[in-house]
Amino acid sequence: MMPRDGFPLSRTDAKVNAVSMTISEKIIASHAGLDRVIPGQLVECSVDLVLGNDITTPPAIVEFEKIGLPVFDREKIALVPDHFTPNKDIKSAELARMVRDFAAKHRIKHYFEIGEMGIEHVLLPEKGLVGPGQLVIGADSHTCTYGALNAFATGVGSTDMAAAMATGRTWFKVPSSVKVILTGSLPRWVGGKDVILHLIGQIGVDGALYQALEFAGGGVSALTMADRLTVANMAIEAGAKNGIFPYDQRTADFYSGKPAADFQPCQPDPGADYAREITIDLSRLEPLVARPHLPENVVPVSQLPDIAIDQVVIGSCTNGRLEDLAVAADILAGGRVRPGVRLIVIPGSQQVYLDALERGYIKTFIEAGAVVSTPTCGPCLGGHMGILAAGERAVATTNRNFRGRMGHVDSEVYLAGPAVAAASARLGKISSPGELGL
């Protein structure tokens, strides 16, 4: 049986029209021009934004030029060279120039580089370029970050990026959804990073493979937008296709004062079908870390023995927002980084850097003995600005701790939120703020 979009369905049209839909299903259906979709169905969708960076855009450009079409809409493409910039070597400079030349040739409106750039998944929400009800694809796995804003957002390969830049369309297999019910509120020094680490620790790095993690429940309102962006960012670390939050007053407040856009908030239908439900009581969480070499190796900091560290990184698309820097500055104020420990702080965007400067956070970091970098992905992917040597150990607010992720294959990365990262920098070992009497 064939639907009107030409792709086969896994069930009959009658069954499709009879079901209620999750948030992800509703957004996909609206962009496919269909009344209903179901998990497993193949659909072709229009896209609201196509994203690429300095690593993934160059191969997309090569494939795009083979198609022989102009870009479908110069205002619906965002190019952000953020991984190896400021350019760390000749090869990275050539990649950045390729993206720069492409953006100029096609008059891409949303091109951000040195001076106005940021880490892509911090910058785009900040600029109001992604939002509720939209369907966004990006040639970067952490594109799922925008689910915090009630958008269906997911990572794709460079070839799919190329096709979407030419046609404004892409294809999906509709994911089933896992409902994650949040209750209670977060204790002090516990944030979005601890929420998502707890979830990944429960279900594993393949626990939501090609599924949508849909967050719900009264605890959602207890999460700040920075918390939500962190949670959605790491949905991919649970194997998920995307993570997504409902639209609420906090979402509306986030867009206050931002440029107007064609946003259409989306909520799940009553009676929507979920593959399973998971409940997390936020009030029972404590500061967590993910031990090497997988994000699922989660343990409370309180249960760790003394583990000495060489480096701390606070930043990335996961925890490089102003709220994250505020937490770190609060813990570092009046203290010093432990001798022998390198603390690297990377604001997620120029605006975050400026706001942190005006609030005194940058001064606090420097007086504590940290170095503050221009916005960049840098050490997160083992690019630059903090590569680890053999045998070195780091605490990082980044999203992955695979073997060799931040440098030598014999180095180790422990993932944590900004509170644990800052406390660890002061004490020289993996620590919680409570160990500082805070």
Angstrom distance (rounded) from CA 144 to CA 244: 8
Domain 47-172 has CATH 1.10.10.10: no
Contact predicate 404/411, CB 8 Å: yes
Angstrom distance (rounded) from CA 190 to CA 282: 9
Q: Is the pLDDT of residue 3 over 60?
A: no
3-state SS assignment for residue 401: coil
Taking residues 265-270, what's their average pLDDT? 95
Q: Look at residue 12 in the predicted model and tell me its pLDDT.
A: 36
Taking residues 247-269, what's their average pLDDT? 88
Which helix H or strand E contains 53, and what residues bound it? Answer: strand 49-53
Taking residues 386-414, what's their average pLDDT? 94
pLDDT, averaged across the chain: 93
Angstrom distance (rounded) from CA 191 to CA 337: 22
Q: pTM value?
A: 0.93
What percent of the chain shows pLDDT beyond 70? Answer: 95
Q: Look at residue 1 in the predicted model and tell me its pLDDT.
A: 30
Q: Is the pLDDT of residue 4 over 70?
A: no
Q: Is the pLDDT of residue 410 over 60?
A: yes
Q: Which CATH superfamily is domain 288-436 in?
A: Aconitase, domain 3 (3.30.499.10)
Q: How far is CA 56 from CA 62, 81, 130, 411, in A?
A: 11, 9, 20, 26
Contact predicate 307/297, CB 8 Å: no
Q: Where are the domains positioned within the chain?
A: 47-172, 174-255+272-285, 288-436
Angstrom distance (rounded) from CA 198 to CA 345: 24
> Of the ranges 13-27, 96-110, 323-337, 347-361, which one carries the lowest mean pLDDT score?
13-27
Angstrom distance (rounded) from CA 88 to CA 80: 16
The CATH number of the structural domain formed by 174-255+272-285 is 3.40.1060.10
The string of pLDDT tens digits covering residues 335-365 is 999 999 999 999 999 999 999 999 999 999 9
Strands (E), 98-230: 110-111, 135-138, 152-155, 169-173, 176-183, 211-216
Taking residues 52-61, what's their average pLDDT? 96
Q: Do domains 174-255+272-285 and 288-436 have the same CATH topology?
A: no
Please name the residue that has the structure tokens 């432990």.
Answer: 338
Q: Is the pLDDT of residue 181 over 90?
A: yes
Residue type, 358: E
Confidence of residue 261 (pLDDT cuts 50, 70, 90): low
